[in-house]
């Protein structure tokens, strides 16, 4: 595999990762979990989504390896799977602190 092919693969994989971060509910879940473990019911209360919707997004994040779980009795607690995920969230916060105004005005990425 050439370095150009490797770079294309890495860019494609990175784009796939950032699509996961791009969903407002998934990003909200990650932000909540950055503060510590939560159950789906806690996430529903904090984020205002339906239980099914939040559960589906948590399952997606878990399937991608960004979130891990810990069963305790009949409850399941979810957490960020790696400190690197929190690092990405904090880096995004820092970037938005510098360029959030321009991002908000950007016509290429309209909110739906």
Look at residue 103 in the predicted model and tell me its pLDDT. 86
pLDDT at position 91 is: 94
pTM of structure = 0.84
Give the per-residue pLDDT at 108. Answer: 84
Is 81 within 8 Å of 29 (Cβ atoms)? no
Least Cα distance to 85 among 103, 49, 61 occurs for 61
- Domains of the chain, first to last: 23-105 (1.10.10.10)
**pLDDT at residue number 97:** 93
The DSSP element (H or E) to which 96 belongs, if any, is: helix 83-105
The Cα 100–Cα 30 span in angstroms is 19
Q: Which residues of 1-16 are buried (b: 16+ CB within 10 A; e: fewer)?
A: eeeeeeeeeeeeeeee
- Tell me phi and psi for residue 68, to 5 degrees: -120, 160
Instruction: Going from the first residue of the chain to its last (112 residues), give the mean pLDDT of each consecutive group of 10, the final group possibly shorter.
Output: 64 88 94 96 96 96 96 97 95 92 84 63
- Residue keyed to tokens 């370095």: 3
Query: How far is the C-alpha of 60 from the C-alpha of 24, rounded, in Å?
Result: 13
């Amino acid at each position: 595999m050439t370095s150009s092919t490797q770079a294309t693969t890495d860019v494609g994989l990175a784009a796939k990762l950032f699509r996961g971060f791009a969903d407002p509910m998934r990003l909200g879940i990650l932000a909540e979990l950055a503060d510590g473990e939560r159950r789906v019911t806690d996430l529903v209360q904090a984020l205002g989504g339906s239980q099914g919707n939040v559960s589906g997004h948590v399952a997606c994040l878990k399937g991608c390896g960004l979130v891990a779980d810990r069963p305790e009795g009949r409850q399941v607690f979810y957490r960020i799977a790696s400190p690197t995920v929190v690092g990405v969230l904090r880096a995004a916060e820092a970037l938005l602190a510098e360029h959030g105004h321009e991002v908000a005005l950007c016509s290429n990425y309209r909110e739906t």
